[in-house]
């Protein structure tokens, strides 16, 4: 039974979709005016996980993630660069798509753009004006928050307290200081659409209501986004949507926690943010995704070199074990094509048992509000058992084809949900090696020449020279790994 933390009730609730077997979910994507940062990566990975797990659980999921492609920030950027606004929005839609692809995000069912739904937006605003929930003033249309009873029910506040905070700009044209724009009159030179209130464009918030209700209906199951969107964005979406439809807008509101940079809040104004692109120059995209999944999606997560390095070490450990297994499997496969031969010992028994319970434990973790951190711990548990068998098997030489194939299958099943560990292990390790090699001050052919020299030295029992070479390479950041089949090297 899946339980989801619902911001609306501040509690975990059993998940019961509106229509049995089907889930409708909407996630606030991005306003496309700049490259995405690590915070966007987190939010999108978090809801990608939700999407994948719901599918894995057997639901038919309709997942909508929007692009807000008309907005003040886009217009500002376009003016600065001296280009039409859609040059900016299209540029950053493309950049977003590329970034998300690198993070291995599944493609949502629909990816609507605000500018393609202006007709629906206008209709929605008109409906609100007609019902008295909104009012027009000098070409702008505002939503009257006092007309909506449930206002602030998501962020659990009240209007008086909000005003006491007193960072609300006073605008004489507003009936109430907290009223927000549904439609903005176009200033000279700004892009506009014609409307019953004159030329203008949608305000922020209304596009999400229009697109989600059009694609998912007036009431749908899950709406997600970053914690910072609770107020005002989602609060306003509720107000607009429910005032218009008279029905509950969303059943489960989900919000992911922030990314901190070295324990400080990351924000554009502080200037301490990293774009996804910058991070991927230094870290593998799978390591970044693995790192993001290593904490629960609602907890704050601290982005630092230390923490990324830890995540990388952990992922390396998993892939190394899997790679060792695949190597044996490729040998066993020919010796034992039926895959029936087995040896029974303690390690094998333990791995068999862990394997049998893996999917159950995985689902139990994920059912508890998508606890990916716990799910990953279960994988590490399995890897430990696998390593035990691997160590054993190296001694006994017994074929374990069937067991290893089962491990491969179970891992792949989980990998499909987490969106990590999808790479062929040898491929991952090679990728990491080449990434790290590019930072080395020594050429690969030189390393290999030294390894060859060391091999002959060892053959001649010249261990002094052999150790000199090992030490020299270690200084260069190269670690040598001797094995019966020869010497491998890796970047430390």
Partner RNA sequence: GGCGACGUCGCCAAGUGGUAAGGCAAAGCUCUGCAAAAGCUUUAUUCAGCGGUUCAAAUCCGCUCGUCGCCUCCA
Cβ-based nearer residue to RNA, 215 or 376: 376
Contact (Cβ atoms closer than 8 angstroms) between residue 287 and residue 312 = yes
User: SS3 of 62, please?
Assistant: strand
Say whether residue 387 binds RNA (CB under 7 A).
yes
Only segment of 119-127, 214-222, 381-389, 405-413 that touches RNA (CB under 7 A): 381-389
Say whether residue 11 binds RNA (CB under 7 A).
no
Only segment of 25-33, 116-124, 332-340, 403-411 that touches RNA (CB under 7 A): 25-33
End-to-end alpha carbon distance in the chain: 44
Say whether residue 219 binds RNA (CB under 7 A).
no
Closest contact distance (angstroms) between CB of 54 and RNA is: 19
Say whether residue 10 binds RNA (CB under 7 A).
yes
User: SS3 of 31, please?
Assistant: strand
Say whether residue 17 binds RNA (CB under 7 A).
no
Contact (Cβ atoms closer than 8 angstroms) between residue 257 and residue 301 = yes
Near RNA by CB under 7 A: residue from 219, 371, 406, 423: 371
b/e 122-140 (16+ beta carbons within 10 angstroms → b): bebbbebbeeebbbbeeeb
Closest contact distance (angstroms) between CB of 355 and RNA is: 15
Q: How far is it between the farthest Cα atoms of the chain? A: 94
Closest contact distance (angstroms) between CB of 321 and RNA is: 7
| Residues that contact RNA, how many (by CB under 7 A) | 81
Q: Quick one: which of 55, 110, 60, 21 has its CA closest to 417?
A: 55
DSSP sequence for 141-161: EEE-GGG-TTTTTTTT--HHH
Only segment of 30-38, 53-61, 141-149, 442-450 that touches RNA (CB under 7 A): 30-38
Q: What does residue 450 show for φ and ψ, rounded to 5 degrees?
A: -65, -35
Say whether residue 107 binds RNA (CB under 7 A).
no
Say whether residue 368 binds RNA (CB under 7 A).
yes
Cα separation of 31 and 95, whole Å? 12
Cβ-based nearer residue to RNA, 157 or 436: 157
Strand partners, 489: 480
Closest contact distance (angstroms) between CB of 20 and RNA is: 27
Say whether residue 98 binds RNA (CB under 7 A).
no
DSSP conformation class of 27? E
Cα separation of 78 and 484, whole Å? 62
Cβ-based nearer residue to RNA, 337 or 486: 486
Say whether residue 30 binds RNA (CB under 7 A).
yes
Contact (Cβ atoms closer than 8 angstroms) between residue 133 and residue 147 = yes
Closest contact distance (angstroms) between CB of 483 and RNA is: 6
Cβ-based nearer residue to RNA, 126 or 383: 383
Q: Mask: binding to RNA, 35-54, rule CB under 7 A, as x and -?
A: --x-xx-xx-----------
Cα separation of 156 and 179, whole Å? 17
Near RNA by CB under 7 A: residue from 306, 338, 438, 439: 306
**Burial (Cβ within 10 Å: 0-12, 13-18, ≥19) of residue 81:** exposed
Say whether residue 108 binds RNA (CB under 7 A).
no
Contact (Cβ atoms closer than 8 angstroms) between residue 129 and residue 141 = yes
Q: Mask: binding to RNA, 187-206, rule CB under 7 A, as x and -?
A: -----------------x--
Say whether residue 70 binds RNA (CB under 7 A).
no
Q: What does residue 187 show for φ and ψ, rounded to 5 degrees?
A: -85, 160
Closest contact distance (angstroms) between CB of 302 and RNA is: 5
Strand partners, 14: 3
Cβ-based nearer residue to RNA, 216 or 351: 351
DSSP sequence for 178-202: T-EEEEEEPPTTS--B--TTSSEEE
Near RNA by CB under 7 A: residue from 219, 245, 294, 423: 294
Closest contact distance (angstroms) between CB of 231 and RNA is: 5
Strand partners, 390: none
Only segment of 160-168, 281-289, 411-419, 441-449 that touches RNA (CB under 7 A): 160-168
Say whether residue 229 binds RNA (CB under 7 A).
yes
Kindly identify the residues of this chain, within the stretch 459-478, that bind RNA according to CB under 7 A.
463, 466-467, 470
Cα separation of 227 and 234, whole Å? 10
Only segment of 14-22, 80-88, 142-150, 315-323 that touches RNA (CB under 7 A): 315-323
Cα separation of 472 and 466, whole Å? 10
């Amino acid at each position: 039974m899946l339980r989801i933390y619902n911001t609306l009730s501040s509690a975990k609730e059993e998940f019961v979709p509106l229509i049995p077997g089907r889930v409708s979910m909407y996630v606030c994507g991005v306003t496309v005016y700049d490259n995405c940062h690590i915070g966007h990566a987190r939010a999108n990975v978090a809801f990608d996980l939700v999407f994948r797990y719901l599918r894995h659980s057997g639901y038919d999921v309709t997942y909508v993630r929007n692009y807000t492609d008309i907005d003040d920030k886009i217009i500002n950027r376009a003016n600065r660069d001296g280009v039409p606004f859609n040059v900016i929005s299209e540029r950053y839609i493309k950049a977003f798509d590329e970034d998300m692809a690198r993070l291995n995000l599944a493609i949502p069912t629909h990816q609507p753009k605000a500018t393609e739904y202006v007709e629906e937006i206008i209709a929605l605003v008109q409906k609100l004006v007609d019902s008295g929930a909104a009012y027009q003033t000098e070409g702008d249309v505002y939503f009257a928050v006092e007309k909506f009873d449930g206002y602030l029910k998501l962020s659990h506040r009240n209007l008086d307290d909000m005003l006491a905070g007193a960072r609300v700009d006073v605008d004489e044209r507003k009936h109430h200081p907290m009223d927000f724009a549904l439609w903005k009159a176009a200033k000279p030179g700004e892009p506009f659409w014609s409307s019953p209130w004159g030329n203008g464009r949608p305000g922020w918030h209304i596009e999400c209501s229009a697109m989600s209700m059009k694609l998912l209906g007036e009431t749908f199951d899950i709406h997600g986004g970053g914690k910072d969107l609770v107020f005002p964005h989602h609060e306003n979406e509720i107000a607009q949507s429910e005032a218009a439809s008279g029905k509950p807008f969303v059943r489960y509101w989900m919000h992911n926690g922030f990314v901190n940079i070295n324990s400080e809040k990351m924000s554009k104004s502080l200037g301490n943010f990293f774009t996804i692109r910058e991070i991927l120059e230094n870290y593998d995209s799978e390591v970044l995704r693995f790192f993001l999944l290593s904490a629960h999606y609602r907890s704050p997560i601290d982005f630092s070199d230390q923490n990324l390095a830890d995540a990388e070490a952990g992922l390396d450990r998993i892939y190394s074990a899997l790679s060792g297994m695949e190597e044996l499997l490729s040998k066993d496969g020919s010796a034992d094509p039926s895959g029936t031969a087995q040896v029974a010992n303690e390690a094998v028994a333990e791995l068999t048992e862990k394997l049998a319970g893996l999917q159950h434990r995985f689902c139990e973790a994920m059912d508890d509000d998508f606890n990916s951190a716990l799910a990953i711990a279960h994988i590490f548990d399995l890897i430990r058992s696998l390593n035990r068998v691997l160590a054993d098997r190296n001694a006994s030489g017994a074929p374990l084809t069937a067991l290893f194939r089962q491990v491969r299958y179970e891992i792949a099943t989980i990998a499909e949900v987490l969106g990590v560990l999808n790479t062929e292990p040898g491929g991952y390790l090679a990728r990491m090696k080449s990434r790290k090699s590019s930072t080395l001050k020594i050429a690969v052919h030189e390393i290999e020449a030294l390894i060859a020299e060391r091999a002959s030295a060892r053959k001649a029992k010249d261990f002094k020279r052999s150790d000199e070479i090992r030490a020299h390479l270690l200084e260069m950041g190269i670690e040598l790994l001797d094995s019966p089949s020869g010497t491998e090297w890796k970047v430390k």
